[in-house]
Structure 1
């Protein structure tokens, strides 16, 4: 029987920490590093059942991929039920997931003074309390809140999260930023995190909003490199993008939401209706995530990316003429204006009637030629994500009159381009795929040395590929 146990869960000031103890079969996916989350205010008054949510949200998908059980002393009853719903969605989405059972000694409901009933009897593929006992607490979400907003939004300042803010701005949502996924906890990313915090804080100050900053080492407590190597064959993206990040990121917010009395927590949609990709953040995942006092929401799924940019353009015209977006894949202190995502966003802004240069993207008509050359040369590592997003832009191009000869030429090329072929031409080289495949039978210590080396080589190659 495979399993992962959550041991020594503690809250010391603003720091959450616990140990992960795996069975032998799962050791390659778990390091010896304690799972840790840093918040920006004390979490010592948060019940253990809520404190367990961040680690369970990140560990359970790994367990489900291996048919493994998870053991924890205490869990919030509402979240235990939510995990069952999320698991059902993920198992339907990914054939390689096997499922597993969460076993808790105690279940709690911080909002009730009466003892909570056991979630299940522990039999089969369901959540169970191993001794049937329960705990209660007189405090609950809102009891330690400081009078701020009762809604929150995961926020980076990109297109999707800015659209989510525009949609919910009357709620004055707390802006939540998380370090530990695209910005790692490594010292090498300190400057990136500082830039993000400064930008989000500035946006919050301009709009009279509160902020919440969270830092985690989830990708080092769980062996992210080995998860990527082992499961890349099953997914279009990486482990967290395809499987774990909707539940994982939202779960990290639970102690923060408890201390602030957050009732509604929004995460911005990346995709939209009609896109059927194996993506780890979707309505049928995120909308299931909940815990006592808090319901999570996958926001903006009813609009395409271009339609979200249109809504932002309306907001710019009516309320925020100097708004700047941040979407760059290269920099966090502004936009480089040269990566695929910068170019794609700049074109979207122009199609929405905005001048990209006024909103954070240096852009001129000559850039249309660079975009075409880069796409044709396979200079960017593109996936199905990007194919859908360029197709979305192409749909808008059909309705748009070009402003210049270069724009017209680019529009005509895009309307005739084989987007599926462009994505296929951008596939990682065979040597990279072979390394990932070989790592499935490679000792973790060896793979952890080899994979960053290969990443570095590929990064240098991408920088010198023609058309970049």
Structure 2
């Protein structure tokens, strides 16, 4: 029987660590690293049943993909019920998920002290900035997580330092608190092997398409418990009417909860352009020089040349803002470069990008162009084959060949080949998030 066992759970000051044992058929989905997460608040007094939440949030989707059962000594009863609800949602979303059962020796129902504090997962992108604007009267704690777009590898130390400084500056300017979480959740799991097995079923990567809603929220549980945090917000990527197989959706995130804390999938009723509208109102009313950070290639500003930078700049122009005032070096000449890059298929685009450009196109049809270059781009976009732009984009052949080979290779063969593949590992993390 397929199984995953959580054991040797320990917490010291702000560091959580535990080891995991699996049945032989699941070994390939885990590396030799123990699961680790660190917080900037002490978690020494957090009950073991809450400390188990971060690792459960990472391994449960893997277990459900293989019909495996999970065993843990102690778990928070509220979260155990939440996992049943999330499992139902993910299994309805993804046909390849089989489900599985969580077995705990003990369930607990702690009564944490609450402080009316709220938290917001925050990167400074369009989605999380919109959520801040919507909830700014609550003075939410801004939570940043290292482990996905910024990896725990030492090579990403500088990126993490830049992100911390930027978020801290944003918080200081508004009298907000911050919380920084660091985890090895994607190097504890063998993410390339998960892609090798399941990329054929999903539009993005394993974590983006399956695991990140439950995973990122679950990482925050010990910190939220220690701080007495009542509400935890995660900004929506998509919006009502888009039914994509995505790991963070209302039917996932709204079901995540544990003792003292409920999670919320925020601004799902707004399209991405409408979120930019909300930001633009805030800019005009309160902060004319607000800076956004959406670029996946840089943390110290926006490159201005990737698809996400161009897309955000166009969205700002549509709302009557100058992108250069908000972190994007965009001029009329960039409309030509953007069109050429889209037509060449320079970027790997998925269904979510399709909907975001379709959303922009709807606004374009309602907007009078400000310049000849803008008019030319608007006219092209009005007739562009967005389906063709998405279908023409796909991962490199070398990646696809690796996925097929790894999926069918015995563990001994895969383990021998894997070290040579790590150099390409970053290319396999198809990350599409503005949060």
- TM-score, normalised on structure 2? 0.96
CA distance in 2, matches of 1:10, 1:321: 47
Is residue 19 of structure 2 the alignment partner of residue 19 of structure 1? yes
1:103 equivalenced with 2:70 (yes/no): no
In structure 2, the CA distance between the partners of 1:436 and 1:160, relative to structure 1 (3 Å rule), is same
Q: Displacement, 1:225? A: 1.4
Flag the 1:372–1:324 CA change in 2: closer, same or farther, 3 A: same
Whether 2:55 is the aligned partner of 1:55: answer yes
* TM-score, structure 1 as length reference: 0.89
Q: Aligned residue for 1:306?
A: 273
* 8 Å Cα contact 1:141-1:292 kept in structure 2: no
Instruction: Give the C-alpha shift of residue 446 in structure 1.
Output: 3.8
Q: Supply the distance in 2 between the matched residues of 1:218 and 1:423 (Cα, whole angstroms).
A: 30
Give the whole-Å Cα distance in 2 for the aligned partners of 1:269 and 1:188: 29
Shift of 1:450: 4.5
Shift of 1:432: 2.6
> Which residue of 1 is the match for residue 254 of structure 2?
287
After superposition, residues 9-408 of structure 1 pair within 5 angstroms as: 9-111=9-111, 140-142=112-114, 150-408=117-375
CA distance in 1, matches of 2:191, 2:331: 39
How far 1:230 moved relative to its partner? 1.2
- Asked whether the 8 Å contact 2:124–2:292 carries over to 1, the reply is yes
Maintained 8 Å contact 2:192/2:425: no
Match of 1:434 in 2: 401
Number of the residue aligned with 2:433: none
By how many angstroms is 1:173 displaced? 0.4
Residue deviations 1:267-296 (CA, integer Å, cap 9, x gap): 000000111110000000000000011000
Aligned partner of residue 198 in structure 1, secondary structure: helix
| 8 A Cα contact 1:348 1:393, kept in partner | yes
Contact 1:226 1:447 (C-alpha < 8 Å) held by counterparts = no
Counterpart-to-counterpart distance in 2, 1:457 and 1:400:
37
| Structure 2 counterpart of 1:445 | 415
**In the alignment, structure 1 residue 412 sits paired with structure 2 residue 379:** yes
Distance in 2, matches of 1:388 and 1:83, equals: 30
For 1:150 and 1:141, how far apart are their aligned partners in 2? 11
Partner SS for 2:229: coil
Q: Secondary structure at the match of 2:401?
A: helix
Superposition misfits of 4+ residues, deviation over 4 angstroms: 453-459
State the 1:216 CA deviation.
0.2
Partner secondary structure for residue 263 of structure 1: strand
Mark the CA change 1:456 to 1:273 in structure 2 (over 3 Å): closer, same or farther.
closer
Structure-2 change in CA distance of 1:267 and 1:98 (3 Å): same
Over residues 193-235 of structure 1, what are the superposed CA-to-partner deviations in whole Å (9 max), with x where a residue is unaligned?
A: 1111011100100111000000000111111111111110111
Alpha carbons of structure 1 residues 455 and 366: separation in structure 2 relative to 1, 3 Å: farther
Q: Is the 8 A contact 2:192 2:428 kept in 1?
A: no
Q: Which residue of structure 2 aligns with residue 462 of structure 1?
A: none
Note if contact 1:141-1:257 (Cα within 8 Å) is conserved in structure 2.
no
Q: Gaps spanning 5+ residues in structure 2: where?
A: 430-435
Shift of 1:454: 4.8
- SS at 1:176's partner residue? strand
Identify if the C-alpha distance between structure 1 residues 177 and 408 changes in structure 2 by more than 3 Å, giving closer, same or farther: same
Whether the aligned pair in 2 keeps the contact of 1:226 and 1:444 (CA below 8 Å) is: no
For residues 453 and 195 of structure 1, the distance between their equivalents in structure 2, rounded to whole angstroms, comes to 24
Q: By how many angstroms is 1:430 displaced?
A: 3.4
Q: Which has the larger radius of gyration?
A: 1
Take 2:414 and 2:103, find their aligned partners in 1: how far apart are those partners?
Answer: 28
Distance 1:279 1:190, change over 3 A: same
Q: Which has the higher contact order (CA 8 A, sep 6+)?
A: 2
Q: 1:344 to 1:42 in 2, by over 3 A?
A: same
SS in 1 for 2:9: strand
